[in-house]
Every structure is written in C-alpha cells, then in structure tokens.
Amino acid sequence: MASTTPVDIPPAPPAPRQRPKSAGRAGDKVFLGLSRGSGILLLVIMASIAVFLSYRAALALADNEGNFFTTFDWNPAGDPPVFGIAVLLFGTVISSIIAMAIAVPIAVGIALFISHYAPRRLASPLAYVVDLLAAVPSIIYGIWGALVLVPYLEGLNLWLDQFFGWTYLFEKTEVGVARSLFTVGILLAIMILPIVTSVSREVFLQVPKMNEEAALALGATRWEVIRLSVLPFGRSGVISASMLGLGRALGETMAVATVLSPSFLISFHVLNPGGGTFAQNIAAKFDEADQFGRDALIASGLVLFVLTLLVNGAARLIIARRKEYSGANA
Amino acid sequence: MAKRIDIGGLTAYYGSHKAIEDISMTVEPRSVTAFIGPSGCGKSTFLRTLNRMHEVTPGGRVEGKVLLDDENLYGPGVDPVTVRRTVGMVFQRPNPFPTMSIFDNVAAGLRLNGSYRKNQLAEIVEKSLRGANLWNEVKDRLNKPGSGLSGGQQQRLCIARAIAVEPQVLLMDEPCSALDPISTLAIEDLIGELKERFTIVIVTHNMQQAARVSDRTAFFNLSAVGKPGRLIEIDETERIFSNPSVQATEDYISGRFG
C-alpha cells in the first residue's frame, strides 16, 4: 500500500510498475461498464416485458364485455367478446398448491437423506439422479403423464374417493379419466422436485459444523441434531427453494397442456377432470387466436407475471424477516 | 454430581492415521485438569474421546477405555448419545443455536432430556444463567436471539447451556481462544466457581491460563509430525510449572519449543 505513493518508488522500476497499474485501471473501467451494463440491461428487459404485456393487455381489456376477473368463460372471438381469468387463476393456484404440498416434504426428506444420512458412496450418485430429473424436457413429462400417470392414477382416484371423499376435496363426482388438476399437481410435483431438492441440499450442507456439534454435545440424536441445528439454519433456504419450485409450477405449460382436459369450470373436487391454468390456456389457444384473441391471452399472461412477482416478493419478505435469526451473524 | 474419570490405554484414529496413542490418566472429581501441548499433539482429540465426540468425525474410532466412576463409556451397548448427556462440552468458538432465543438455548438440552413444566424450566434456565454469571446481563432479553450477544457472552451462554442438564463432567476445548482478555477473565473466574460442582477438563494453548485455572496439568507432545500424540506427564499444576519431572515439559513451558 505504501509503495503507491510516488515518494516511495525508487528511480529504477517505475516503468514496469506503472504499466500493470494503468492496465488494471482500464480493466476496472471495462469490468465496471460491463457489469453495470448487464444490470441495466436486466432492468430494461424486465421493464420492456412489463410494458409490452400491459400495452397489449390494455388493448384487449378495453373491448372485453365480461368481467376480466370473475367471468367463467374464454371467448374473445365471440360477439360481444367475453373472457375472464377466474378459472385459470383457480386452476393455476390449486395445481401449484397440490404440487408444493407433495413436492416440498419429499424434497426436504431427500435433501436431508443426501446431506446427513446417506453414506458418501450413495449420496453423490443419488444427488446426480435427482438433478437428472431436472434435465428431462417438460414435454416428455407431459407425454409420460398422459400415457402412464393418467391411467395409473385412476385406481388411486377411486381409493381417494372411497376413503377421503368426505373431505369434499377428494370426492369424485364425475366419471372420466384422471385428466384432473390433481393429476397435474402430481406431475408438477415431480417436475419441481429436483430444484427444491438440490437447493435445500446445498443449504443443509452449509450448516456450520459447530452448530451441529453444539447439538451433539448436548446429547442429541441424529434426528434431534437435524431438528435443533440443520432445519432452523436451512429454513429460509428451503423457503426460497420452494418459491423457486412454485415459480416453475405456476408457469409450467407443456406438461399441463398435455395432461389436462380443459374446461371453464371451477370445482374444488380436484379429482374431477377439467379446469385450466394460465400457461396451459395460452398454449392451447394461441395458434388459432386472431390479433384480439392473442391480446386477450397476453392479458392473462400479465396476471401470471404479476402472480409470480408477488410470490417471489413474499418469499423475500419471509426470508428478510427471519434474518435476525438466520445464523448469518453467528 | 461430579465424577472421577479413569482413562486406560486410550488410542484414537482418524481413518488409518493414529492421532493419539496409549494414554492413561486419572481426572479427579471437583477439580480442573488442564491439557497443554503444542499444536497437533492430540489434546483436543483426546478431549473429544471423553464424551465420544471423536467418533462423529468421519473415520474417527477409539480403542481403550474411559471409566466414569467405574462405568466404561466405550463398553458394549453404551449409547454415545447418553454419554454426551452426562459429559457436557464447550467448544473453541461460541456456538449458541443461532435461531433460538437465549432462553431456548439454555433450555435446549433440558428439552432433549425430557419434559419439564414451564415454571420448572424457567427456574433451571435462571439458575444455569446465574451459574454462568450471565443472568444479570441477559435477564431483560431472554427472548432475543443468542447470536446477538457478544462473543464472551455467547461463550458463557454455551456454558449455561452445558451446565443446565447437570452433567457429571464439563469438557472445555480452548474456550477462551476466540475471546478478548476481559471476556477470558470472566470465563476463567467462572471455571473457578464451576469446579465446586463439576469435574472440569480444559484444553488450552495459553500456559498462563492453565497455571491460573487448573489444579492438575497434563502435558502432551508428539515425537514428530505425523506421529501420534502422547501424554508426557500429568501432575499438580504447581509442580508442572515449577519443577516438572520430564525435560520436554520444562522445555515447552519455558518456551524453548512449541
């Protein structure tokens, strides 16, 4: 540090010293420009998407004769044009909730097994297999869901109907194959399992050894170590992992479009075929829609965009509120 | 509540590496025994064999026996979890549970051991915090996270957590090495009080500390890097620091090596 003042520089070596210095500054400037540019570019992209969606959506909404939020219909080509997102919002949220309810406990279990229970020889191949699940294209999941999951789930649906039909949720009032929101939820659960698992696993592996030893030294069993030190430390990580998964579940298109038999009905009988999601509806209708129809679909896309933003915002809020306890300052 | 520890022929390994070899000694109840020696001599490893924490490290295993008032901690059918409930430990760096409040930190061990009524729990927590000379500093913020305390306070919180379950023995692995001199002094005073109730074993790099707090001192050394650590001698602290019977001890204490 002291040698940067000119007084300290001996007469002989100034030339070689100055060159790396100025090159370093130029490098700094280039790097600063690049990183600042990337940051700005990101904001510009986000803003332009939002502007594009809002503008096209506004065009469609101006001529919509139905209430955009409460109409159970999607008929922008009709006269008068009527379309609403009630069914789509319901289907998207319900199928994502089902997916989360199934995927998050399993993912946390797998992550804990890999990080704290499995012998090392088993842990890394297992982690690799879970990551492989993420590499399967979603259309493959869709085909597998339609050809394998749907027929196989019929038995499960009957069983659920028989023993849990009293919950209303699992009452199957309509005959038909299992092209239901419940099936979509299961499929989505499989699809978000790898991301939730691998993020949770990373967090669990980062638990400081001294935290785990604190529990061990008190005479904690393996499960108690996990309960006392691993889960509290990993909590915010698991929340953000789940939100990442939720983001994917909300926006998933091809797999849902392949499995679901869409209808414009809202029903809490999740085993009944029918329902719809934002992404599935856009994928199914975009090709045959005219200009106005596409604007209407974009309006629904805007709602999905806002929904995803809200979910991410909520996740950040939860994490921030836990910061005092997060262990980062320990 | 304090028990005597008899260690016989204890050898500990990390995988195939022998870390300490053939250590035998007796630790007297209601006294402070200090372990000193150069880095890598296995004093921390040895300490961790006394509550079966050594085997938590992958590849860690132990031969020999550790008798806690005639009960072998390494006997067949002895559950290490039970051992750790009788032999408490305080670590080099303060490690309160970061997500827990001060109260919950102290109560953590009690809650593992069984169920307590609310007021009973509060009573023990207060007693433990008083025992760790921390009560007056934290009594108004028991529900705040333990990680918000200073380093020295956190370490005393860890001591409170360890003594809350009334262990027979308290092991301390360089408990002051991450603390400033004032906090160190507070912990040393505390050790002097705690030895009335517990058998205390402390590993320290600070020879003045060993001289200040301990009744007996054990000196460990290793013949060369990569060779297992051995117990050179154990004696009254006063004797070790004035007139040790082994030359190597005197060399180490007078600063000629280590």
Convert the pLDDT of each residue in B14-31 to its tens digit: 999 999 999 999 999 999
Residue of A nearest to B51 (CA): A217
Which residues from A are below 8 Å from B84, CB to CB?
Answer: 216-220
Rounded percentage of chain B residues whose pLDDT exceeds 90: 81
Which class for B190: exposed (0-12), middle (13-18), buried (19 or more C-beta within 10 A)? buried
Interfacial B residues in 86-125 facing A (CB < 8 Å): 88-89, 91, 93, 95-100, 108-109, 112-113
Q: Is residue B151 within 8 Å of residue B96, measured between CB atoms?
A: no
Is the pLDDT score of A276 beyond 80?
yes
Average pLDDT value for residue range A71-76: 88
Which residues from A are below 8 Å from B100, CB to CB?
Answer: 232
**Minimal Cβ distance to A211: which of B53, B98, B161:** B98
- CA torsion, points A25, A31, A34, A38, in degrees to nearest 10? -140
Determine whether the interchain pair A235/B99 forms a contact, defined as Cβ–Cβ distance below 8 Å: yes
Q: Is residue A183 within 8 Å of residue A98, measured between CB atoms?
A: no
Average pLDDT value for residue range A186-208: 92
**Minimal Cβ distance to A214: which of B56, B95, B113:** B95
Rounded percentage of chain A residues whose pLDDT exceeds 70: 90
End-to-end CA distance of chain A: 32
Is the pLDDT score of A45 beyond 50?
yes
Is the pLDDT score of A321 beyond 80?
no
What CA–CA distance (Å, rounded) separates A93 from A35? 37
Q: Give me the half-sphere count of Cα atoms (radius 13 Å) on the Cβ side of residue A306.
A: 11
Which residues from B are below 8 Å from A224, CB to CB?
Answer: 112
Determine whether the interchain pair B95/A228 forms a contact, defined as Cβ–Cβ distance below 8 Å: no
Q: Give residue-wise pLDDT tens across range A3-22.
A: 444 455 455 545 555 555 55
Tell me how close the Cα of A207 comes to any Cα of chain B, in angstroms: 11
Q: ∠ at Cα B68 (B64, B73), nearest 5°?
A: 45
Average pLDDT value for residue range A225-234: 91
pLDDT at A323: 57
Using 50, 70 and 90 to split pLDDT, how confident is the model at A329?
very low
Residue of B nearest to A324 (CA): B145
Rounded percentage of chain A residues whose pLDDT exceeds 90: 48
Which residues from B are below 8 Å from A217, CB to CB?
Answer: 51, 53, 84, 88-89, 91, 162
Determine whether the interchain pair B145/A219 forms a contact, defined as Cβ–Cβ distance below 8 Å: no
Q: Which pTM does this prediction carry?
A: 0.81
Residue by residue, pLDDT tens for chain B (258 residues) are: 578 999 999 999 999 999 999 999 999 999 999 999 998 899 999 999 999 999 998 889 999 999 999 899 999 999 999 999 999 999 999 999 988 999 999 999 999 877 788 899 999 999 999 999 999 999 999 999 988 899 999 999 999 999 999 999 999 999 999 888 988 999 999 999 999 999 999 999 999 999 999 999 999 998 888 899 999 999 999 999 999 999 999 999 988 776
pLDDT at A316: 79
pLDDT at A8: 53
Tell me how close the Cα of B84 comes to any Cα of chain A, in angstroms: 5
- Complete domains list, chain A, with CATH: 88-289 (1.10.3720.10)
Q: What is the mean pLDDT of chain A?
A: 86
Cis peptide before B96 (omega within 30 of 0): no
Tell me how close the Cα of B151 comes to any Cα of chain A, in angstroms: 9
Axis crossing angle, helix A14-63 with helix A291-321, rounded to the nearest 10:
130
Interfacial B residues in 18-77 facing A (CB < 8 Å): 51, 53, 56, 58
**Minimal Cβ distance to A327: which of B53, B82, B99:** B99
**Which chain A residues have any C-beta within 8 angstroms of a chain B C-beta?**
120, 208, 210-211, 213-221, 224, 228-229, 232-233, 235, 324-327, 329-330
**Minimal Cβ distance to B112: which of A210, A219, A229:** A219
